[in-house]
Amino acid sequence: MDKTMQSRPLPLRAVRVTDSFWQREMDLVRTEVIPYQWEALNDRVPGAAPSWWMHNMRAAARRNAARRAGKVWTVPAQAEKLSFQPLPEKGTQPDPDAFYGFVFQDSDGYKWLEAVSYQLMRRPDAALQATAQQAVDAVCAAQEPDGYLDTYYTLGLREKAFTNLRDHHELYCLGHLAEAAVAWHQATGRDDLLRAAMRFADCCAAQLGREPGKKPGYPGHEIAEMALIRLWEETGERRFLDQALYFIDERGRRPFWFDEEARLREGAAWGGPTDGSAYHQANAPVREQTEAQGHAVRAMYLYSGMADAARLTGDDALAAACRRLWHSAADEKRYVTGGVGATHVGEAFSRPWDLPSDTAYSETCASIGLAFFARRMLQLEPDSRYADVMEEALYNTVLSGMALDGHSFFYVNPLSCDPEACRTDARLAHVKPVRQKWFGCACCPPNIARIVSSLPAYAYTASENTLYVHLFVGSELNVTLNGKPLRLRMTTAMPWDGEASLEVLEGSAEGTVAVRVPGWSREARMSAVTLRSLLTPGTPECAADEKAQTEKDGYVYFTGTWEKGDRIEIFLDMPVRMLKANARVPELAGQVCFRRGPFTYCAEGADNGPDLALCRVDAERLQAFPENIAQEPLDVGGITVTALKVPALKAVPDDALYTEWAPDVESPCTLTLIPYFAWDNRGENPMRVWLRR
Ligand code: FUB
Ligand code: ZN
């Protein structure tokens, strides 16, 4: 492990995104998604499934007040059932004192608060901050005197807290609370939520650990690992790092805690007994794990925490495990859209090479988790392979999770969709052909809000002496190299064209700027240029040969003294690429898909009519004559994308189901392809990423 290459994201306030693509997405989250989700958290969206978030927080606050006043509080009868998703009985009024929603419902509001905090760092907004303060106050009032903070148990059988770490989500809620608290503290300087998170973390640590009298438990749904590391970094309190390391190290040790706790509670409250639980990545100690397995979001969050821990503690064995798990997830189990988790059974990874298009699960949160993991691997060891996957996830499945107007969301992201089949085929029951306004299990929408709002953290990281450029995002940024501040501007036509320029606006510093060479570019060219004319009027611009230039693992490193006017010119060709899948992927045999720059493309009924499965492309011919693929601007749902016009052939189907083999009768047609993220913004219609060849 080369510690000198390790880096951290630039602080969000240090980067101002200026390009029209990401600025639009970030503004959409601020102006549409965040206000909409606030209404959702307060159960004020007509026709949408209730969130119960504010209901639960307020009820928990009342319970705490009753406790303080010494009043008797009757536990609502439904709480006795320890149901995973208690809801009001059909036809009855909700009990104002009962918990409703999924067992992890508290986390929805924490994710929302985190997204709000990132937006406040982009631009102060007193009204938004005041609204968010209501949420923070509600959370703080819901916290019990001993620091416990999970409304499911506060409103139910508190004595059962920490008895079902496998299925219930106390530590998941702790993780999301800590992430929100750090962001809120950074955005506002307020420590109210931070103190709540610290107290809850301490409350958990008092119960869980290897010390005598504690339970050797760890999260059933990971995230606390990376969140506690952030809490440590924000507060400087070492005990939070230790808690994170304990959770990482204890997972999968024998005897398996999840089996032990199930035995202690005499059976499972939800789900069945486990085998040590690959579903929860708890079947073996993490350093021994080699295959990305189980619930995909959980896996991604665990591996992200492991990568953070490996970097911060210099743990080579943990770093090696991260590399193995990365290889499994990214090289054998990843969709071409940057999605992971192929099966709806357990929302999980399937076996290697099993990547079905129509039954894909590819949860939006799992793709977000893949971007988390990739960013952390980049921090550990810069290598453009990680950045390529991070970019693929961000520009495809993460963005596809949200409609272009910000008002509806995908949880599941198929790579092929036949709306009629989704309605009638139970095997596709999990696939919604149109985005939904909200979900009973609404993990994805606020997760999109928080990652989009923190996009700069994926574009740039820095070490003491090196600025890493991972994504090409129009922006202005402040960075410190070897203690000296620099102000820079990235000007770029990305994601639609691959020209970019990174210019020093102010400052003077010695150090390195490392620019990623994306895997999709075949003829990347970069050079450092010094504007001598700025320094000596009348002198022509010249190549800055004083900047040493080297290349390693897909990054070009420019090292030298950086002065105002110095810039790196970047030219990334953006060819249309026709991809095939590994021959081991049976589902994709005989099919191709198209990529351009960071985007994976798809054919949609709105442009091509309903019979997408009848169309094929002549791959050999297109490979020989790629110029036959035209590129045109196209308006899709209010934005202009670069569409691809691909010559194709459309079969006239036979009358009979089976006939003697003969070439299909076909007629030429042109398929219009659009970036995957933009599909389903023109009403319900079929879609395919992979096309017959
Ligand atoms: O369990 C919490 C979240 O709900 C998971 O991350 C999602 O996959 C969904 O099951
Ligand atoms: Zn989700």
CA 321–ligand 2 middle distance (angstroms):
25
Same domain, residue pair 622 and 561: no
Same domain, residue pair 504 and 586: no
From residue 457, alpha-carbon distances to 119, 190, 210, 439 in Å are 13, 22, 35, 28
Closest CA to ligand 1's atom 8: 297
Categorize the per-residue pLDDT at 240 as very low, low, confident or very high, splitting at 50, 70 and 90: very high
CA 481–ligand 2 middle distance (angstroms):
38
Same domain, residue pair 503 and 587: no
Same domain, residue pair 633 and 562: no
From residue 380, alpha-carbon distances to 3, 87, 98, 301 in Å are 8, 44, 45, 16
Reading the block at residue 684, the tokens are 């319900």
Model pLDDT for residues 337-348, shown as the tens digit of each residue: 999 999 999 999
Ligand minimally distant from the alpha carbon of residue 344: 1
Average pLDDT of the chain is 95
Number of domains in the chain: 2
- 332 DSSP 8-state letter: I
Q: Would you call 444 a catalytic residue per the annotation? A: no
CA 443–ligand 1 middle distance (angstroms):
6
Average pLDDT over residues 311-330: 98
pLDDT at site 548: 80
Model pLDDT for residues 77-92, shown as the tens digit of each residue: 889 888 999 999 989 9
pLDDT at site 530: 79
Same domain, residue pair 535 and 632: no
| Dist. CA 493–CA 501, nearest whole Å | 10
Which is the catalytic residue, given 114, 225, 347, 381?
A: 347
Q: Which burial class, exposed, middle or buried, applies to 104 when counting CB atoms under 10 A from its CB (0-12, 13-18, 19+)?
A: buried
* 539: pLDDT strictly greater than 80: no
pLDDT at site 269: 47
Same domain, residue pair 585 and 687: yes
Model pLDDT for residues 582-635, shown as the tens digit of each residue: 999 999 999 999 999 999 999 999 999 999 999 999 999 999 999 999 999 999
Average pLDDT over residues 302-329: 98
What would the DSSP string read from start to end of 273-300? --SS-TTTT-SS-GGG--S--SBHHHHH
- Residue where one domain finishes, among candidates 552, 572, 592: 572
Domain-located, residue 168 = no
Mutate to test the pocket of ligand 1, among 167, 172, 221 (most ligand atoms within 8 A of CB): 221
Model pLDDT for residues 444-495, shown as the tens digit of each residue: 999 999 999 999 999 999 999 999 999 999 999 999 999 999 999 999 999 9
* 532: pLDDT strictly greater than 80: no
Model pLDDT for residues 13-52, shown as the tens digit of each residue: 999 999 999 999 999 999 999 999 999 999 999 888 899 9
Closest CA to ligand 1's atom 6: 297
Q: Would you call 347 a catalytic residue per the annotation? A: yes
Same domain, residue pair 662 and 565: no
Q: How far is CA 393 from the centre of its chain?
A: 8
CA 180–ligand 1 middle distance (angstroms):
18
Domain-located, residue 292 = no
* 326: pLDDT strictly greater than 90: yes
Domain-located, residue 152 = no
Average pLDDT over residues 106-134: 98
Q: Which domain holds residue 593?
A: 576-692
Same domain, residue pair 506 and 524: yes
Closest CA to ligand 1's atom 9: 443
* 276: pLDDT strictly greater than 60: no
pLDDT at site 15: 98
pLDDT at site 440: 83
Ligand minimally distant from the alpha carbon of residue 451: 2
pLDDT at site 364: 98
Model pLDDT for residues 639-675, shown as the tens digit of each residue: 999 999 999 999 999 999 999 999 999 999 999 999 9
Closest CA to ligand 1's atom 4: 443
CA 67–ligand 1 middle distance (angstroms):
32
Sign of CA dihedral 23, 25, 31, 37: negative
Does residue 419 have a cis bond before it (omega within 30 degrees)?
no
> Helix 192-207 crosses helix 170-188 at what angle (to 10 degrees)?
150
Percentages of the chain per state (helix, strand, coil), in multiples of 5: 40, 20, 40
Q: What percent of the chain has pLDDT over 90?
A: 90
Domain-located, residue 131 = no
Does residue 495 have a cis bond before it (omega within 30 degrees)?
yes
* 267: pLDDT strictly greater than 90: no
Categorize the per-residue pLDDT at 540 as very low, low, confident or very high, splitting at 50, 70 and 90: low
Ligand minimally distant from the alpha carbon of residue 364: 2
Q: Are 491 and 408 in contact (CB under 8 A)?
A: no
- Residue where one domain finishes, among candidates 547, 572, 597: 572
| Dist. CA 365–CA 174, nearest whole Å | 18
Domain-located, residue 181 = no
Domain-located, residue 15 = no
pLDDT at site 48: 83
* 525: pLDDT strictly greater than 60: yes
Pocket of ligand 1 (CB under 6 A): 104, 221, 297, 347, 363, 365, 441, 443
Comparison of pLDDT for 531 and 402, the residue scoring more: 402
Categorize the per-residue pLDDT at 272 as very low, low, confident or very high, splitting at 50, 70 and 90: low
Domain-located, residue 474 = yes
CATH number of the domain within which 516 lies: 2.60.40
Which is the catalytic residue, given 443, 593, 602, 615?
A: 443
Task: Please state the atom number of ligand 1 nearest to the C-alpha of residue 363.
Answer: 8
Same domain, residue pair 603 and 676: yes
Same domain, residue pair 635 and 563: no
pLDDT at site 266: 74
| Dist. CA 515–CA 459, nearest whole Å | 11
Ligand minimally distant from the alpha carbon of residue 299: 1
Domain-located, residue 73 = no
CA 410–ligand 2 middle distance (angstroms):
9
Mutate to test the pocket of ligand 1, among 441, 447, 450, 451 (most ligand atoms within 8 A of CB): 441
Model pLDDT for residues 491-520, shown as the tens digit of each residue: 999 999 999 999 999 999 999 999 999 999
* 274: pLDDT strictly greater than 60: no
- Residue where one domain finishes, among candidates 572, 589, 605: 572
Same domain, residue pair 586 and 555: no
Closest CA to ligand 1's atom 3: 443
Same domain, residue pair 566 and 584: no
Categorize the per-residue pLDDT at 439 as very low, low, confident or very high, splitting at 50, 70 and 90: confident
